[in-house]
Each structure stands twice: as structure tokens, then as C-alpha cells.
Amino acid sequence: MRLGQTSVVYFSSKIVGSALGSLATLYIARKIGAEPLGIYHLVVGLVSWLAIAGEVGISEAVSKRVSEGTDRGKYTLAGVSVIFGLFAVVSAGIVLFRSQLVEYVGYPAGGYVVLILLVVLLNSLINSLLVGIHLVHISGVLTPIRTGGRALVQISLVAVGASTAGLFIGHLVGYLVAVAIGAWFVLRNVSTFRLPNKQHFKNLVNFAKFSWLGSLRSQMFSYTDIIVLGFFVSSGLIGVYGVAWNVAHFLILFSGTLRTTLFPEMSAISSEKEPQAVAQIVEQSLSFGGLFLVPGLFGGLLLGERILRLYGPEFPQGATVLAILIAANLIMGYQSQFLNTLNAVDRPNLAFRVNGVFTGTNLAFNIILIYMYGWVGAAVATAGSVAIQFGFCLLLCQQHYRI
């Protein structure tokens, strides 16, 4: 019952957040067109890649260790110190290569990249802590708060003529509000903060050295195509592609809800050496996950062009891309449940192998297919690499846990 209630709260929050984001994108697209949106998506994608270097799997490691119930305050401080140290290093690199950054993005966005990177890293850490202390519902509620704050500021600034700068400022404000609220809940529920010792850092690193590739896999799924497209197509087409991606990604909200809700529970059960109980949870999550995935696939295929037409006359050209991305998200919705299981049962080494397969195939497919077929090739690359990862992940779960 408690898991069901948590899932409902988390999912409802995700739906509200997605709706707010979609409304904001709809208004912005009709007001200023695809090109500023393309620049915005390009910067957000770039930051997501930089965030991988800014945490190297530490957030996932913190979530896992804190969920185990011992030394929560020490693991929290250890995670905070590592992430701030890495942020300083990555920020120095951004400043050093700011001219190349401006040339790639086509906009003087160096300062925005540093600031957005900071709030993204803080948000990731806060969400991981909330999941680790079994406050998944609070983590979910922060989504509409973050998205709503971002949407409100972006719409307000675009309405008075701020254009691209308004998109970046709104993004920052939304994250800052969510981070502040999430940090308050963490401080209330982690009773004591004590200095970590060498073993706490070692335990985080032992998990993170495998889980960092999971962070890379997640960001590659969402942003590799956009990052590579930045070298081959105009900002306008990237804007259309980004809108198509957001529409397609809506389908896996419920699957993501199940994954996040079940992770701390499976982690706790696994620490008690009950692998069959974990397998039963996974099987149930797969059954419920299809509630939105399968109907969403057919609905998106039938209505995709009409949906994109709402954003403006430039966007229906992305209908083919949308159809392929919907299929990619369908596969990812199921695949992520199996990958979540491997991390929850403290087998990041197996998850590392799965993520390694996806990382290699996704990058190679994107470079080759985008060069050959443009943005349609980007969508095909995403779908193909996810399908290969799904097959490999399913095989490992069946071999080790009879799922």
C-alpha cells in the first residue's frame, strides 16, 4: 500500500511537471520559433554531458549507500564534498575553452553553462538523497515545482522580449527553487551530520566506479543525438527535434516512477539476502509499466503530426522523427526496469557492462547515421542502440536472478 501511494504521488507530480513544461514549450515555440529553442536544447544537452564528469556516478552511489540505513550523515557529507570538488574542475575547463563553446553553440552561453551545471549537480544530489532516505514522493513533488518555476519565469521573460537569455534564466530559477526545498527536507530527515572517514569515500567510489557509466547512458539516451546534431544541422532543426523528443519522452514517465519508487525498497530487500522477493517486484513493475507505454506508442504514431502542428508551422516536419523516438522510449521504459534491478541488488558491475554496450553503440550509431541521414538517422541511432542494450540487460537478469 505504501509503495502504491508513493508511486501515485510521484507519478502525479511527474505528469503535472511534464504538462507545465509542455505548455511553456508550446508558448515559447509559437512566440519565438525553433531556433532559440534549438540553442537552449543544445546548451541543456551539453550541460547534461558535463554533469557526468561533475559527479562520475557519485549521486547514484550516495542514493545506494544512504538507502542501506547506516551512516547517512557521513555519506551525505562525503557526496557533497566530492561533487563540489569535481564541479570546480569542470568549471575551470569551461572557462578555459569558452571561445570554442561559443562557436559550437552559436551563442555567448559560457556563464550560463557554469551556473546551470552547478544547479543540475545540486539537484541530482538532493534527489538521490531523498530517494535514499525513502522520500521518493518528495523527490517527485519537486519536479512540478522545478518545471513550474522554470516555465513561469521563461514565459514571463519571453513575453517581454528576453528570448534565448530568458530561457536560460528561467531554467536556473526553476532548479534553484527545487534544490532549496529538497535540501530542507534532507536536513530534517538526516538527523546527524558527521565528518566521513576514508572508508565512506571508498564505499562511494566502489559503487560509483561502475554507476558512472549509468549516468553516461542516461544522458546519452537523452542528449547524444542533439549534441551530435549540433555539428551537422541548424539550430532550427535541433529545436524541432527537441520538441519531438519531449513529446516522445512523456511515455516513460510512469515507468520512471516505478523505477525510482522501487529502487530503495529493492535495495533494502537485497541487503537482507532475498533475491526472489526482488524478482517478484521486478515482474510486477513490468506488468504495470505497459499501462502507458503500449497505448502511448499507437496514439503517438496516429496523432504525432497533429501534435507537432500545435507548436507552429515549422514543427510538423518532425513527424517521422517523433514516431521513431516513441518506439525508442517504449523500449527504454522496459529496459530501465531491468537495469534498475542490477543497481538495487548491488551489482553495478553487471549494470556497467550493459551501459558499456549502449554507450559504444549509441555514440557510433549517432555519428554514422547522422552523417548519412541527418536527423532521421539520429532517431534511428537512439532506437537501435536502446534495443541492443535491452536484449543484453534482459539476458543478464535472466542468468543471475531468473527474472
Q: Is the pLDDT confidence value at 217 over 90?
A: no
pLDDT in the model for residue 1: 47
Which DSSP state fits 318? G
Cell numbers that stand for 70 in this block: 547506516
Mean pLDDT of 223-229: 82
Mean pLDDT of 111-122: 92
- Our count of domains for the chain comes to 1
Using CA atoms, how far apart are residues 397 and 389, in angstroms rounded to an integer? Answer: 12
Mean pLDDT of 79-101: 87
Task: Dump pLDDT digits (tens) for 233-272.
Answer: 888 888 888 888 888 877 666 555 555 555 555 656 655 5
Q: Is the pLDDT confidence value at 281 over 50?
A: yes
Mean per-residue pLDDT over the chain, rounded: 77
Using CA atoms, how far apart are residues 328 and 297, in angstroms rounded to an integer? Answer: 10
* Owner of C-alpha cell 515555440: 29
Model confidence band, residue 180 (pLDDT cutoffs 50, 70, 90): very high
Task: Dump pLDDT digits (tens) for 282-313.
Answer: 666 665 656 666 676 777 778 778 888 888 88
pLDDT in the model for residue 380: 92
pLDDT in the model for residue 58: 75
Whether the CB-CB separation of 321 and 369 falls below 8 Å is answered with no
What single string gives the DSSP state of each residue in 114-162? HHHHHHHHHHHHHHHHHHHTT-HHHHHHHHHHHHHHHHHHHHHHHHTT-
Q: Is the pLDDT confidence value at 11 over 60?
A: no
pLDDT in the model for residue 276: 60
Phi/psi-derived region of residue 246, left when phi > 0, alpha when psi is between -120 and 50, beta in every other case:
alpha
Contacts of 198 (CB under 8 A, 6+ apart): none
What domain range is 91 assigned to?
A: 2-401
Percent of the chain with pLDDT over 90: 8
Mean pLDDT of 74-102: 86
> What is residue 108's three-state secondary structure?
coil
pLDDT in the model for residue 213: 60
Task: Dump pLDDT digits (tens) for 352-363.
Answer: 777 778 878 888
Distances (CA, A) of 239 to 78, 135, 157, 230, 317: 39, 35, 19, 11, 12
Percent of the chain with pLDDT over 70: 73
Task: Dump pLDDT digits (tens) for 122-179.
Answer: 988 888 888 777 777 777 778 778 888 888 899 889 888 888 888 999 999 999 999 9
Q: Is the pLDDT confidence value at 2 over 60?
A: no
Using CA atoms, how far apart are residues 150 and 166, in angstroms rounded to an integer? Answer: 10
What angle is formed at CA 307 by the lines to CA 304 and CA 311, rounded to 5 degrees?
A: 130
pLDDT in the model for residue 186: 82
Q: What is the pTM of this model?
A: 0.71
pLDDT in the model for residue 27: 85
Mean pLDDT of 93-108: 88
Whether the CB-CB separation of 101 and 113 falls below 8 Å is answered with yes
pLDDT in the model for residue 399: 67
pLDDT in the model for residue 64: 72
Mean pLDDT of 116-126: 89
Using CA atoms, how far apart are residues 377 and 370, in angstroms rounded to an integer? Answer: 5
Task: Dump pLDDT digits (tens) for 312-370.
Answer: 888 888 888 888 888 888 888 777 777 767 666 666 667 777 777 887 888 889 899 98
pLDDT in the model for residue 112: 92
pLDDT in the model for residue 85: 86
